[in-house]
A = this chain, B = another copy of it.
Amino acid sequence: MKKEPLFPPQGTDKSEIEEGSVFAPRFDKDGLIPVVAAEAATGEVLMVAYMNAEALARTIETGEAHYWSRSRGKLWRKGETSGNAQRVVELRTDCDQDALLLKVELTGSEACCHTGRRSCFYRAVPLGEPIGKDGVTLRLIDGERRFDPESVYRHSGAANRTLKKSE
């Protein structure tokens, strides 16, 4: 596997970027691209994470989701610690090729979030009210834990580590 996989640099021709068939993902100034992982069968949005070029190449070549951990500064194969991997059913790029969508099947306890939940999006923000001086109170929507993060990550201080989603 190449250490520095190469994707072609994105040009300036909007029509080619949006309508062409050349995959030229645009990485940001940190070399990252945001990725939405959604469950293939249901469409449920599970998490947002980031890939660098190497994580993207490994994901394409192996069909297993790899990300770049911004908090740990390293490549990470989803599930390498938790056992909760993501098998990629489909990978899509958006119009201007600066965001990706992974449709995945879940393995293990079928949880994507490092807090033990299925999805990272387990809290809702109420709508339709003016934002008062006390701010906005979140509502827990799907708080069920599929695993115990303390025991899975084997860190007594796991709750206070800056674990980036689902690592």
Contact = CB atoms under 8 A, between A and B. Distances in A.
Q: How large is the interface on A (under 10, 10 to 19, 20 to 34, 35 or more residues)?
A: 35 or more
B137 A5 contact: no
A131 B60 contact: yes
Number of copies: 2
A156 interface: no
A74 interface: no
A14 B135 contact: no
Interface string A115-149: 10100111111111111000111111100000000
A20 interface: yes
Contacts of A113: 94-95
Contacts of A44: 43
Nearest to A166: B95
A24 to B, nearest CB: 8
Contacts of A45: 36, 38, 43, 45, 101
Contacts of A163: 14
B120 A95 contact: yes
Contacts of A125: 23, 60, 91-93, 100
Interface string A35-48: 01010001111011
B124 A159 contact: no
A158 B79 CA distance: 43
20 contacts: A7-B131, A14-B163, A15-B159, A18-B115, A22-B137, A23-B125, A23-B137, A23-B138, A24-B135, A36-B48, A60-B127, A60-B131, A60-B136, A63-B128, A91-B124, A92-B124, A95-B113, A95-B122, A95-B165, A96-B165
